[in-house]
Amino acid sequence: MRALLLALLTLAPSLAAAQGACDTDLPARPVGPLQVGELDGFLAVPHRACPREEVALGGDVLLVADTADLYGNLHVNGRGRLSALLGDPRVEAFVSWEAVRYQALLSAVSSSYLGLGYLSWGASGQLEEREGRAFALTGRMVLPTTTGLDQSSQPLAMDLGVTGAFVLNENFRAHIWLTLLGSLGIGAGPADPRGGVRFGGGLDWRPFEWLSFVAEVQSGFFYRALLDVLAVNAGVRLALGPEVGVELAAALPLFGERAFDDGALPLGASLMVSWRPPGGFVAGL
C-alpha cells in the first residue's frame, strides 16, 4: 500500500502547496469524485479523500436502452446518505441507503419493482494530507436489503479502494482513484463470484468558491467483462451557503457492457443535497 501511494505521488501533477487538498471556504460544497455509478448499492463509486460529517438526500436515475435487443432497464431511487467521523477526524464511517427503489425491465414482457433498495456501508480512513494532496483508503459493503427484488439469491458486494485529491491551483483540483470490487450470490443457487478493478480520475474547476464543474474519466475491467466500462462523467456542484451543498452528476458509458459502442443508450444521473453542520454533528445538533 505504501509503495502504491509513493507511485501515485510520483505521478501526481504539479501541486499548489499553498492550499490543503481538503481546504474549502464553503465546507458544504461536495468534493472529490462524483457520486454517480451504475452498479447496485453504488458499488465501486469512489469515496472522497477528505472525511467530513454530513447527511445527504437525493436520488438517482439509471437508464439503459438497447432497442435492437428489445432491452431496457430503468432504475429510479430515492437515497439517503449519512457520514460521521468516528472520534478520529481522519476516519469517516458512512452509510447509504436506497429508501425507495423503482425499477422497470422493458422487454417483450416487462416487469417492474417498487420497494426498498440496497444499503451500503463503509468506512474511509485518510492516510495522508499535506502539501496540497490527500489520500484515503475506503472500504464498502453492499447489503441486499431489497424487499422482493432479490428472491432466491442475495447478492453481497464489497469494494476496497484508494482515492487521492490534489490541489493544482486556486481554481483547479484533481482527484484519482483505484478500486477493487467483488461480489457473490448467497443462497441456494450459484455463488457466481465476480471481481474486478476500476480506476479513473477527474478535474474539479471552481470559477467561484460556491460553484464548481467536474469532469471525469472512469474505466473498469473484469467485473462484468474484460472491458467492463469506459465512461465519462460530468457534474456541477453548488454550495448554498456554508452548510448546504448540491451535486448533480451524470455518467455516460461509452464502451463496455451495454454502452454506446454496443448500440445501447446508457445514462446515469444523480442529484444529492447535503447538509454539513458546522463543527460536525455534535456541535451542529
Interaction site with another protein (CB under 8 A): 64, 67-68, 70-71, 73, 103, 105-113, 123, 139, 141, 149-153, 155-156, 158, 160, 184-192, 194, 224-225, 257-258
What is the rounded radius of gyration, in angstroms, for the C-alpha atoms of the chain?
A: 19
The distance of closest approach from Cβ of residue 174 to another protein in the complex, given in angstroms and rounded to an integer, is 28
- 102 or 199, CB closer to another protein? 102
The distance of closest approach from Cβ of residue 103 to another protein in the complex, given in angstroms and rounded to an integer, is 6
Number of neighbours of residue 118 by Cβ within 10 angstroms: 24
- 57 or 91, CB closer to another protein? 91
Which residues does 142 contact at the CB level (< 8 Å), separation at least 6?
A: 40, 41, 42, 43, 118, 119, 120, 155, 156, 157, 158, 183
The distance of closest approach from Cβ of residue 244 to another protein in the complex, given in angstroms and rounded to an integer, is 31
- 125 or 242, CB closer to another protein? 125
Distance CA 251, CA 234 (A): 7
- 123 or 136, CB closer to another protein? 123
The distance of closest approach from Cβ of residue 141 to another protein in the complex, given in angstroms and rounded to an integer, is 6
* CA atoms within 13 Å, Cβ hemisphere of 280: 10
The distance of closest approach from Cβ of residue 235 to another protein in the complex, given in angstroms and rounded to an integer, is 25
- 158 or 174, CB closer to another protein? 158
CA distances from 118 to 19, 23, 243 (A): 37, 32, 27
